[in-house]
Copies of this chain bind each other. A is one copy, B any other.
Amino acid sequence: IACVGGEPRLLALHLKRLLEGCRRLALRPPQTAQLTAEIASLARGNERAVLKLLVTRGPAQARGYAASGEERGTRILLRYPWPNEDERVSQEGVRVRLGELRLGENPALAGLKTLNRLEQVLARFEWSTPAIAESLLFSSGGDLIGGTAANVFLVLGGQLHTPRLDRCGVAGVMREAVTLAARRAHIALAKRPLTSLDLDAAEEIFLTSALIGVRPVRELAGRTLPVGPVTRRLQHELGPLLRNEAQLPLGEGA
């Protein structure tokens, strides 16, 4: 959870995703009022910071994978400094590579943000040069999924496309915010299966995450890409939200 101006950003979307994750994993969700107060308390006074919230099923009463249903959940809320980085990259874009590791497909876990992230860890080990910001990863079936820690959007024929995440991948809150912003800006957005052919054909590519917002890709595996009009338009549209000067209209995050 990015905190800007002492307040959590996109909190409604974070909480929505958390509740959805709890539902699908049969975790008892934390009480929203208490959690919101705790997040507000850790965010307060921090012009820019990162919060990380972990929710677990809690201590088990016995060994093994079964749960009794009587577990009392644990929540852990951590605050980190905002990452140091050159402010220009958010405007000028980043260099991205193609990952080699293929992501396993499981509809039962697709889209969820969980602590089972070994694939991302291994994918992140494929490169170490700081000049490369991210790897784009494909599923075992060959579909484009996203970065190790970001979602990806392509502009094809002036329209916006992002991978459907019903077999693997993490559905980030900024992906959701871009969906809402595209609707407001009357930019058509398709969530659908995408492949490396779509990457080759893309006029613009950008990455999204709760921290980086909308970040243009200026180079993909050696190919130079422009920071184009659709990317700029969405950055502009999301600006007030990212600066925490605007909230999502009530109901849109629900």
Of B83, B105, B114, the contact of A105 (CB 8 Å cutoff): B105
Within 8 A of B (CB), among A122-177: 122-125, 128, 140, 148-149, 168
- Interface size of A as a range: 35 or more
A222 at the interface (CB under 8 A from B): no
Of B109, B114, B124, the contact of A64 (CB 8 Å cutoff): B124
- Cβ-closest 4 pairs across A and B: A104-B104, A104-B106, A65-B124, A116-B116
A118 at the interface (CB under 8 A from B): yes
Q: What is the CB-to-nearest-CB distance from A121 to chain B, in angstroms, rounded to a whole number?
A: 5
Cross-chain contact A109 with B105 (CB below 8 angstroms): no
CB-based nearest B residue for A62: B83
Of B64, B66, B83, the contact of A128 (CB 8 Å cutoff): B66
Of B64, B116, B125, B148, the contact of A26 (CB 8 Å cutoff): B125
Cross-chain contact A106 with B26 (CB below 8 angstroms): no
CB-based nearest B residue for A24: B122
A sample of 9 cross-chain residue pairs with beta-carbon separation below 8 angstroms, ordered by A number, consists of: A26-B122, A63-B80, A65-B124, A66-B124, A66-B128, A67-B124, A104-B105, A104-B168, A105-B105
A35 at the interface (CB under 8 A from B): no
- 12 A-B pairs besides A25-B121, A52-B63, A102-B106 with CB distance below 8 A are A50-B63, A64-B149, A65-B120, A66-B124, A66-B125, A67-B121, A102-B108, A104-B109, A104-B168, A109-B119, A109-B122, A116-B117
Cross-chain contact B116 with A108 (CB below 8 angstroms): no
Q: What is the CB-to-nearest-CB distance from A89 to chain B, in angstroms, rounded to a whole number?
A: 15
CB-based nearest B residue for A52: B63
